[in-house]
Amino acid sequence: MQAFLKVSNLIDSLNNLVGRWASWLTLVAVLVSSGNATVRYLFDNSSNAWLELQWYLFSAVVLLCGGYALLHHQHVRIDVVYSRFSRRTQLMIDIFGTVFFLLPMAILIMVLSWPVFVNAYVSHEMSSNAGGLVIWPARILVPIGFFLLVLQGFSELIKRIAILQGKLRDFADEDAGPTAEEELARAIAEARELEIQNAKLAN
């Protein structure tokens, strides 16, 4: 199990690195979008290439950060009864979901998307829009993104099995700090308190 945990740590480090770097593409996408809009309104000039570049950048953020989101438990999870179960049952549910849902889905998409990329690369497929970009850089994002998600799925599987065996500290015991909802509630409470203080000073 220790060897598997070392592999898990390597996968976590990889997705951390990719996720942090890919997140900067959001800023690049905003700058490209702003620049494109400015040129269009000021000079009545635009290009499909810049518009498609925005799509490429957004796709890269979504696909390359999938494993990163899973690593930090930021993926969408609809909890109906999960939180009412014991921690051991929750871990068993996670293992079942990873083995029978996450990994088969991610592996299938990764495998099926690879020939699509190869075909686009070999044929030098271009966008159907005038002045558009070459397609294959966008196509390759799909297999790469789902490959990273598959790796992270295996890492999460290893960690949950290790937790069940008592060989790894449960991440649920770690204080992740306040949630976004808690931060918002605190900010509202502070604003209300400041408002009350200002009202007292005014009187």
* Per-residue pLDDT band at 50 (split at 50, 70, 90): confident
DSSP state of 101: I
Count of other CB atoms within 10 angstroms of residue 175 = 5
pLDDT computed for residue 168 by the predictor: 82
Count of other CB atoms within 10 angstroms of residue 135 = 21
DSSP state of 171: G
Q: How high is the mean pLDDT of the chain?
A: 86
* Per-residue pLDDT band at 11 (split at 50, 70, 90): very high
Q: Which amino acid would we find at residue 57?
A: L
Is 70 exceeded by the pLDDT of residue 175? no
Q: Cα–Cα distance between 101 and 80 in angstroms, integer?
A: 18
Q: Cα–Cα distance between 109 and 138 in angstroms, integer?
A: 15
Helix 136-164 / helix 2-43 crossing angle, nearest 10 deg: 150
Average pLDDT over every residue of 197-201:
75
* Per-residue pLDDT band at 173 (split at 50, 70, 90): low
Closest CA to 148 of 64, 28, 92: 64
Count of other CB atoms within 10 angstroms of residue 157 = 19
pLDDT computed for residue 34 by the predictor: 87
pLDDT computed for residue 47 by the predictor: 77
Longest dimension (CA), the chain: 76
